[in-house]
């Protein structure tokens, strides 16, 4: 039973090592992860490119509207300046003015849409810039906390591994091999504590004979007939 107790203690150490190893991996991944900053910067660049394109479209629309406005002024000058001498010329000038007015309205609508899009893009840009400032301001503190956690985990792992190095040699080689084999196949668990006559590995109630053997066996370990884990009776 002393050997099984040693296996149970070793399992406790191994589980703690695995837990801290997983935490250390997570901490180091977070230390290396600047995706929040990178992603926000990429979004800012996309919005800035969109604003540049909208600016070009706005200037083009403004030039078109200005050109149409100049043409309308020339047509109206002809209409009201006495240059039109007959009905045919008057009808043609009126038709041209109507067409030009319609084109100007269409271009003004385009210009308005571009201006609205630009306003929305500028608002989004300001929002993203604020987000980036907050992330960049918080990152140094986050790195400091993660670095502290990393140091603590490394220190704890050093102590746990030293404890494992002391405990493992006390286990007979054949039982240690069985322990390692079970541990690999059962997600880190090889030894099951018995509580109230039940194997805690598979939650199966043990027979009286199994329970007695687990309590008194001096020939080696006793494995659960269901989950095959090594039974440990405190």
Domain at 1, CATH number? 1.10.287.1490
Domain termination residue (choose one: 125, 153, 168) = 168
Same domain for 67 and 143 = yes
pLDDT greater than 70 at residue 219 = no
Same domain for 23 and 56 = no
CATH code assigned at 110: 1.10.287.1700
Same domain for 72 and 127 = yes
Q: What is the pLDDT of residue 80?
A: 77
Same domain for 104 and 203 = no
What is the average pLDDT score of the chain? 92
Q: What is the pLDDT of residue 218?
A: 58
3-state secondary structure 64-122: HHHHHHHHHHHHHHHHHCCCCCCHHHHHHHHHHHHHHHHHHHHHHHHHHHHHHHHHHHH
Same domain for 77 and 12 = no
127-156 pLDDT tens trace? 999 999 999 999 999 999 999 999 999 999
Same domain for 151 and 57 = yes
pLDDT greater than 60 at residue 193 = yes
| Count of structural domains, the chain | 2
Same domain for 24 and 50 = no
Strands (E), the chain: 191-195, 198-199, 204-205, 230-232
Same domain for 183 and 81 = no
The residue ranking higher by pLDDT, 159 or 207, is 159
Same domain for 223 and 179 = yes
Judge residue 118's burial from the number of C-beta atoms within 10 Å of its C-beta, 0-12 exposed, 13-18 middle, 19 or more buried.
Answer: middle
pTM equals 0.74
Which percentage of the chain shows pLDDT scores above 90?
77
Same domain for 117 and 104 = yes
Question: What is the domain extent for residue 87?
Answer: 34-168
Q: How far is Cα 27 from Cα 188, in angstroms, rounded to an integer?
A: 22
pLDDT band at 13 (very low <50, low <70, confident <90, very high): very high
Ranking 85-89, 103-107, 189-193 by mean pLDDT, the lowest is 85-89
The residue ranking higher by pLDDT, 56 or 96, is 56
Same domain for 149 and 69 = yes
Place of tokens 């018995």: 194
Same domain for 158 and 140 = yes
Q: What is the pLDDT of residue 137?
A: 97
Q: What is the pLDDT of residue 89?
A: 79
Find the helix or strand (DSSP H, E) in which 132 lies.
helix 87-167
Count the alpha carbons within 13 Å of 33 in the hemisphere toward its beta carbon.
10
């Amino acid at each position: 039973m002393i050997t099984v107790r040693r296996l149970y203690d070793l399992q406790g150490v191994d589980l703690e090592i695995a837990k801290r190893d997983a935490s250390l991996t997570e901490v180091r991944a977070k230390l290396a992860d600047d995706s929040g900053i990178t992603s926000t910067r990429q979004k800012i660049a996309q919005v800035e490119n969109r604003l540049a394109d909208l600016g070009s479209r706005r200037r083009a629309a403004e030039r078109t509207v200005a050109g149409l406005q100049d043409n309308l002024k020339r047509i109206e000058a002809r209409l009201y300046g006495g240059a039109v001498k007959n009905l045919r010329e008057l009808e043609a000038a009126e038709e041209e003015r109507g067409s030009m007015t319609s084109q100007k309205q269409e271009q003004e609508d385009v210009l308005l849409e571009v201006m609205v899009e630009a306003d929305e893009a500028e608002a989004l840009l300001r929002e993203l810039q604020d987000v980036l400032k907050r992330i960049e301001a918080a990152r140094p503190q986050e790195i400091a906390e993660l670095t502290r956690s990393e140091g603590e985990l490394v220190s704890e792992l050093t102590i746990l591994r030293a404890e494992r190095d002391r405990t493992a040699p006390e286990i007979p080689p054949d039982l240690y091999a069985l322990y390692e084999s079970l541990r690999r196949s059962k997600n880190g668990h090889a030894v099951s504590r018995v509580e109230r006559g039940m194997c805690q590995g598979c939650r199966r109630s043990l027979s009286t004979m199994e329970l007695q053997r687990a309590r008194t066996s001096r020939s080696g370990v006793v494995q659960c007939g269901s989950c095959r884990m090594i039974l440990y009776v405190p």
